[in-house]
Amino acid sequence: ALYGRDITFDQFGKYNLLIRKVLEAVYMNCQERSDDSADFRALEEYLKRVWFSNGIYHHYGCEKFVPEFSKSFFINAVKSLSPDKLPLAEGETVENICDKIVPIMFDADILPMKVNKKHGEDLVCTSACNYYEGVTQKEVEDYYNAIKVNDGNEPLSHGLNTSVIKCSDGSVKERVWNIDGKYGAAIRKIVFWLDRALEFAENDKQHKVITTLIKYYETGDLSEFNKYCIEWVEDTDSLVDFINGFIEVYDDPLGMKGTWEGLVEYRDTEGTRRTKLISDNAQWFEDHSPVNRKFKKKIVNGVSANVICAAMLGGGEYPSTAIGINLPNADWIRARHGSKSVTISNIISAYNEASRGNGFDEEFVIDAETIRLIKKYGDICDIIHTDLHECLGHGSGQMLPGVDPDALKAYGNTIEEARADLFGLYYIADEKMLHLGLLPDENAYKAGYYTFMMNGLLTQLARIKEGRNIEEAHMRDRALIARWCYEKGKADNVVNLIKKENKTYLQINDYLRLRELFASLLTEIQRIKSEGDYEAARVLVETYAVDINQGLHREILTRYRSLNIPPYKGFINPVLYLEKDAAGNVIDVKADYSESYAAQMLRYSKVYATLI
C-alpha cells in the first residue's frame, strides 16, 4: 500500500515552516530543562495549535493565533539555543530568524488572516496564504483571464499547482510546483513513494493511475493532471485507493490554488452497499429534484459511491480531516466522466463516539422529546445526509453552455456546498428513503432537520471567535441555508427561535414546510450556479452567511464553554508494523495507536520534513 506521509508545505503562510521548526527546537530545549513556567506551557499549547493547523492560522476560522507567552520569553528562548538546533540559512544569524518570525507571530496587524474574503478588499494582498508574491488581486485575475481565453472544452485547472510572482521587469508569471520547481524536494519524496507503490498496484488501471500521477508531479503539466483525474475516477475496482496531490482550493482567496493532501484508504464493504443503493438510483433523484428542468442533467454519469476507512492521513487532511470527499473538482470531468465520492466511516464513527455524553444536546436542544429524537435517529441521518451530499449533491445539475465555471468567484465554494447540502436535506425527508430501506421510519429525517438548523442558526457559532465573522465556506453554507429558511418561514411560523431563561433555543413547528423551503432555496441556488449569476450569489452570501449577531454569539460561546468540549478534534495516525512469518513473508499489518500527538508531530518533523 501507499503511505500518505506528513509532508509539511508552507502554503498557509510564508514563514510557517520556519516558525514550526523554531518552536519545536525551543519546546524540546525547555522540556530538557524541565521548564514549567506559565510562558512555556503557553508556548506548548501554541505549538500544538501550529501542528494542528499546519501553521499559525486557525484551520477553519483563518485568523492568526495570539501567543499567550511573552515576546521576551520567546526571543530569549530562541537565543539560548545552540545554533545547530536552528534551520539557519547560509550567513544567517539567530537575530535574522527572530527578525523574520517575531513580528509575524506577535504583531496582530501583520497578516492577520490566512484567507481574507471580505468583499471590496484586495483579497490577494490581505491574505497570508503563500500563493502570491508581490502581485495584486487585479494582476492575478488579469493574468488568468488572459489564459482562459484559449480554453477549449477540456479546460485545465489553471493555477492549481503554481505560485504567482511579480518579476523584476514588472511582468507577472507562475512558478510551477513540480520536481524541479518550487517544493521540488518534497515532490521528489512523493514520487519516490508513489514509485514504491507501483509494485503493489492491485490492477492495471491502478498502475496507470499511479504512473500518470508521477508524470504530473514530474512535469507539473496540468493536462497530465486532467488525465490522472479521469483515470482515477474510472478505477472503481481497487480495494485500496488514495488521494494525493494539490487538491482542494479553499485556502486560496481566489479559489484556484490547491492545498497538498494525502489520504490512503481501503473500502468499507457494508457501508458501500448502502451508498451503492443511492447511486444506483441517481437518475431517479436527479429527475425528481425540485430544480428547474433546464438545469438538470439529462443523464447522470457514473456517480460512484464508496464508503471507506482512512488508513493514513497527510498534508491538508492531517490531523484534522474531512468526513466525506467528492473529487475531481473540474466540472467538465465530472460531467463527462463522473466523480468519485467517499464517506470516511471510521472517522465519522470516531467523531460520534467521542461526542456521546458530552452534554451538548442537553444544553442546546429545546426539549427532552427532541433530544430523544436525535439520540434515536441522529447518527443515521448524519450518515445518509453525508452520503447524499457527496454521492449526488455535488454531482447533480448542469451548467448552461458557455458559463464560466469560476463565475461565482469568492462565493463559488459557499454556493457549491449549499447546493450539495440542500440536495441532501431535501431528500432525507423523501419517501424514497423508506422504500430503499435507508431510513427506518417517516420521523427519522426530523432529527437531521433539527440538528442542521440548530447548527446553522446557533451552535456552529461556538467554533468562531468573538468579534469575528463567518469565513469558512462550509460554515457559510450552513448559515446561509438555516438563516434563509428561518427568515422566509417567519410569516408562517415554520421555525422559531425562543428564549428560555435567557437561553436561545430552536423550535421547528412545521417540518414539512421546512422541507418546502429547502426545495425553494435549492431551486434558486442551482439557478445561480447554472447561470453563473455572480450578483445573486453575492447578495445571498453577504445577506445570510457572513455577519453574526454579537449578543447571540456571546451567549452561544458562554454556554458552549460551560460544557468544556474541545472545539475541534483531530486524528493521530497509527504506526503500522509489518508482521512476518518465519520465512520472512509479510502475513499481516499491525496498527499501533500508542504514539502521542506531540511525539508523532516531532517524529514527522524530524523524519519527513523536506522543505526546511
Give the nearest residue (CB) to Zn ion.
420
* Least distance CB 191 / Zn ion (angstroms): 29
- In the numeric block, the cell 496507470 is attached to 208
Q: Would you count residue 310 as binding Zn ion (CB under 5 A)?
A: no
- The 399-418 site mask, x for binding Zn ion (CB under 5 A), equals ------------------x-
Q: Would you count residue 391 as binding Zn ion (CB under 5 A)?
A: no
Coarse DSSP helix, strand, coil percentages of the chain, rounded to the nearest 5 percent: 50, 15, 35
Output 190 or 305, the one with its CB closest to Zn ion: 305
* Least distance CB 528 / Zn ion (angstroms): 16
Scanning 54-126, the segments in alpha helix (DSSP H) are 71-79, 94-106, 123-126
Output 528 or 556, the one with its CB closest to Zn ion: 528
Output 44 or 416, the one with its CB closest to Zn ion: 416
- 556 vs 457: CA distance, rounded Å: 11
Query: Taking the chain, what is the end-to-end CA distance rounded to the nearest angstrom?
Result: 27
Output 116 or 414, the one with its CB closest to Zn ion: 414
Contacts of 285 (CB under 8 A, 6+ apart): 278, 300, 392, 396, 423, 427, 432
- For CA atoms 392, 397, 403, 409, the dihedral sign is negative
* Least distance CB 496 / Zn ion (angstroms): 29
Q: Would you count residue 420 as binding Zn ion (CB under 5 A)?
A: yes
* Least distance CB 530 / Zn ion (angstroms): 18
Scanning 562-596, the segments in alpha helix (DSSP H) are none
The residues in 103-132 that bind Zn ion, with binding defined as CB under 5 A, are none
Output 187 or 473, the one with its CB closest to Zn ion: 473
Output 16 or 289, the one with its CB closest to Zn ion: 289
Output 24 or 421, the one with its CB closest to Zn ion: 421
* Least distance CB 263 / Zn ion (angstroms): 15
Q: Would you count residue 7 as binding Zn ion (CB under 5 A)?
A: no
The residues in 517-546 that bind Zn ion, with binding defined as CB under 5 A, are none
Using a 10 angstrom Cβ sphere, with 0-12 exposed, 13-18 middle and 19 or more buried, the burial of residue 299 is exposed
* Least distance CB 391 / Zn ion (angstroms): 11
Task: Report the candidate in 344, 194, 191 with the shortest Cα–Cα distance to residue 275.
Answer: 344
Output 53 or 386, the one with its CB closest to Zn ion: 386
Q: Would you count residue 392 as binding Zn ion (CB under 5 A)?
A: no
| Span of 16-24, 38-46, 419-427, 459-467 interacting with Zn ion by CB under 5 A | 419-427
Residue type, 537: A
Output 139 or 421, the one with its CB closest to Zn ion: 421
* Least distance CB 456 / Zn ion (angstroms): 15
Before 319, cis peptide (omega within 30)? yes
* Least distance CB 71 / Zn ion (angstroms): 40
- 223 vs 230: CA distance, rounded Å: 11
- CB-based contacts of 74-82 (< 8 A; 24+ apart in sequence): 74/26, 74/43, 74/102, 74/105, 74/106, 75/102, 77/26, 77/29, 77/30, 77/43, 78/22, 78/25, 78/26, 80/29, 81/25, 81/26, 81/29
Binding-site residue total for Zn ion (CB under 5 A)? 2
Q: 176: which strand partners?
A: 162
The residues in 70-109 that bind Zn ion, with binding defined as CB under 5 A, are none
- 4 vs 573: CA distance, rounded Å: 10
* Least distance CB 534 / Zn ion (angstroms): 21
Q: Would you count residue 485 as binding Zn ion (CB under 5 A)?
A: no
Q: Would you count residue 19 as binding Zn ion (CB under 5 A)?
A: no
Which residues here bind Zn ion, judged by CB under 5 A? 417, 420
